[in-house]
Amino acid sequence: MQDIKNFYHFLKDNLGLSIATIYVVSFINYFIYYYSFGIPIFNYIEVTDLLFFVFEYVIKIAIIIFATEVLIFTIHTYYYRITHVFITLYKRKKLLIYLKANKINKERFLNVLEKNANQSLRNFKLTIILLSIFFIGYLPLKVVFIPAFFVYFIFILNQFDKKTFQTLTFLMWFIIIFVGLLFSTIYSSFSKRFYKEPFVISFKEGDRIISTDQYKSCLNYLGETSKTIFLYDINTKKCKLYFKDNITDLQIDNNNNQIDYYTEKVMNFVKNYM
């Protein structure tokens, strides 16, 4: 919680610099991504589009870190009480006393036995993150999960030694997110030129129905600004621009929602092992 407060105060004290940095990072990524398709993006973009571009990526990383933090905390709390608290009570022959105690006395027992729980939790997090290095290549959505992994790793190291890492934490977070966003941009610009993606968006332009459904067209969704949608035909290698003022009945297919997919995976894990 203290790290979040420090981050908030840093942004508050350096608001102008933070906004300028967001614009510069967005500008670079927009330029690389859309110019790789031959689109003069700055003819179609507005200032607000630059601002929200970085936010979307940062929010994805924040969600992954938050979900990881909650999952690790839940697992640690559950198993710590079994392997440490209750076993300690059993060895001291006070387990029956604890079970018969009222709620207030039980809390006193737990407070005494869990006085080292915070240190144990930090050690548990560090162990998990170090072991995860061997499986990092198997992570889905690598352009998001890998930066999230390293941001979380820096976050954990900061909890062990705040004096050493406090001044470097924000700078390292920025570098990780910037590099991750750059790789994500380059990967997307390559992938969307050669491979049909499952994301489906459809709309009407006059009497025509435009769709990126793989069974109906060879169009890939590139992105959009506040006024324009960009599609790319992987067969003809041409970009198509559609102004939002000229389209109707805009629909987005939610069958490939990755958040729902991985949320379901986590929930199944919790049900089976918790």
Query: 105: which 2 tokens?
Result: 């006395």
**Strands across the sheet containing 228-233:** 219-224, 228-233, 238-243
Lowest-confidence segment of 34-38, 81-85, 139-143, 248-252 by average pLDDT: 81-85
Q: Which of 66-70, 122-126, 253-257 has the lowest mean pLDDT?
A: 253-257
Evaluate whether 200 touches 213 at the Cβ level (below 8 Å).
Answer: yes
CA 176 to chain centre: 13
Dihedrals φ, ψ of 155, to 5°? -60, -40
Buried/exposed code over 223-259 (b: 16+ C-beta within 10 A; e: otherwise): bebeebbbbbebeeeeeeebeeeebeeeeeeeeeeee
Structural domain boundaries in the chain: 2-194, 196-274
What's the pLDDT at 158?
A: 77
- Does the structure show a pLDDT above 60 at 273? no
Bin 223: left if φ > 0, else alpha if -120 < ψ < 50, else beta.
left
Per-residue pLDDT band for 6 (boundaries 50, 70, 90) equals low
| CA 148 from centre of chain | 6
